[in-house]
A = this chain, B = another copy of it.
Amino acid sequence: MCIGLDVDLGKIPKHLLLLDDPIFEFNKQIIDATHHLAVAYKPNTAFYEAYGIKGWQSLEKTINYLNKKYPEIFTIADAKRGDIGNTSNMYAKAFFEDLNFDSVTVAPYMGSDSVEPFLAFKDKFTILLALTSNKGGLDFQGLKVENQELYQKVLQTALTWKNSNNLMFVIGATKAEYFKSIRKIVPNHFLLVPGVGAQGGNLQDVCKFGITKDIGLLVNSSRGIIYAGNNEDFAQKSQEKALELQQEMATILEAI
Contact = CB atoms under 8 A, between A and B. Distances in A.
Interface of A: 6, 8, 44, 46-47, 49-53, 55-57, 60, 78, 80-85, 87-88, 90-91, 93-94, 98-99, 107-115, 129, 132-141, 143-146, 150, 153-154, 157, 199
A199 to B, nearest CB: 8
Contacts of A80: 81-83, 107, 110
Given A46-B94, A52-B98, A113-B134, 10 more contacts: A44-B87, A46-B81, A49-B94, A52-B56, A82-B107, A110-B136, A110-B141, A111-B136, A140-B153, A145-B145
A65 to B, nearest CB: 16
Count the copies: 2
Contact of A134 (B55, B111, B146): B111
A17 to B, nearest CB: 18
Contact of A90 (B47, B135, B140): B47
A94 B50 contact: yes
- Nearest 3 A/B pairs, CB to CB: A111-B136, A111-B139, A112-B136
Given A80-B82, A81-B46, A109 B111 contact: no
A161 B150 CA distance: 21
A156 to B, nearest CB: 11
B157 A140 contact: yes
